[in-house]
Amino acid sequence: MASLRKLSAARAVVPSVRRSPRVASPQLRATEDFRDRILRGDCIEQLKALPTASVDLVFADPPYNLQLEGALNRPDHSLVDAVDDEWDKFSSFADYDAFTKAWLTEAQRVMKPNATLWVIGSYHNIFRVGAIMQDLGFWILNDVIWRKANPMPNFRGRRFTNAHETMIWASRNASSKSYTFHYEALKAANEDTQMRSDWYLPLCTGGERLKDQKGSKVHPTQKPEQLLARVILSSSNPGDVILDPFFGTGTTGATAKRLGRHFIGIERDANYADAAEARIAGVEPLEDHALALSPTKRSEPRVPFSAVIEAGHIKPGEHLVDSQKRYKALVKADGSLMVGPVSGSIHKIGALVQGLPACNGWNFWYKERGGKLQSIDEFRAAIRKAMPID
Ligand SMILES: C[S@@+](CC[C@H](N)C(=O)[O-])C[C@H]1O[C@@H](n2cnc3c(N)ncnc32)[C@H](O)[C@@H]1O
| All residues at 6 or more sequence positions from 94 whose CB lies less than 8 Å from its CB, including other chains | none
Residue 19 has pLDDT above 50, yes or no: no
Say if CB 287 and CB 27 are below 8 A apart.
no
Q: Give the pLDDT mean for 281-303.
A: 82
Cβ of 210 closer than 6 Å to ligand 1, yes or no, is no
Say if CB 263 and CB 33 are below 8 A apart.
no
Report the alpha-carbon distance of residue 7 to residue 218 in Å, rounded: 6
Report the alpha-carbon distance of residue 91 to residue 121 in Å, rounded: 19
| pLDDT-derived band at 357, boundaries 50, 70, 90 | confident
Residue 74 has pLDDT above 70, yes or no: no
Distance 30 CA to ligand 1 centre (A): 24
| pLDDT-derived band at 18, boundaries 50, 70, 90 | very low
Residue 17 has pLDDT above 70, yes or no: no
Nearest atom within ligand 1 for CA of residue 204: 8
Please list the helix, strand and coil fractions of the chain in percent, rounded to the nearest 5, in that order: 35, 20, 45
Lowest-confidence region among 140-149, 181-190, 232-241: 181-190
Distance 247 CA to ligand 1 centre (A): 5
Nearest atom within ligand 1 for CA of residue 266: 21
pLDDT tens for residues 242-260? 999 999 999 999 999 999 9
**Bridging pattern class, strands 366-369 and 372-375:** antiparallel
Residue 146 has pLDDT above 70, yes or no: yes
Q: Give the pLDDT mean for 290-306.
A: 78
Cβ of 217 closer than 6 Å to ligand 1, yes or no, is no
Query: Of all helices (H) and strands (E), which one includes residue 272?
Result: helix 270-281
Higher pLDDT, 378 or 294: 378
pLDDT confidence of residue 99? 97
Pocket probe mutation, ligand 1, options 87, 96, 252, 271, max atoms within 8 Å of Cβ:
87
**Nearest Cα residue to atom 14 of ligand 1:** 246
Global pTM reads 0.74
Q: Give the pLDDT mean for 81-108.
A: 90
Report the alpha-carbon distance of residue 323 to residue 144 in Å, rounded: 38
| pLDDT-derived band at 124, boundaries 50, 70, 90 | very high
Residue 155 vs residues 75, 79, 160, 205, 210: alpha-carbon distances, Å: 7, 11, 10, 20, 25
Say if CB 208 and CB 224 are below 8 A apart.
yes
Residue 10 has pLDDT above 70, yes or no: no
| pLDDT-derived band at 24, boundaries 50, 70, 90 | very low
Q: Of the candidates 183, 170, 112, which has an alpha carbon nearest to the alpha carbon of residue 143?
A: 170
Residue 103 has pLDDT above 50, yes or no: yes
Higher pLDDT, 23 or 67: 67
Cβ of 361 closer than 6 Å to ligand 1, yes or no, is no
pLDDT confidence of residue 29? 63
Give the torsion through C-alpha atoms of 155, 200, 228, 62, to 10 deg.
-40
Cβ of 248 closer than 6 Å to ligand 1, yes or no, is yes
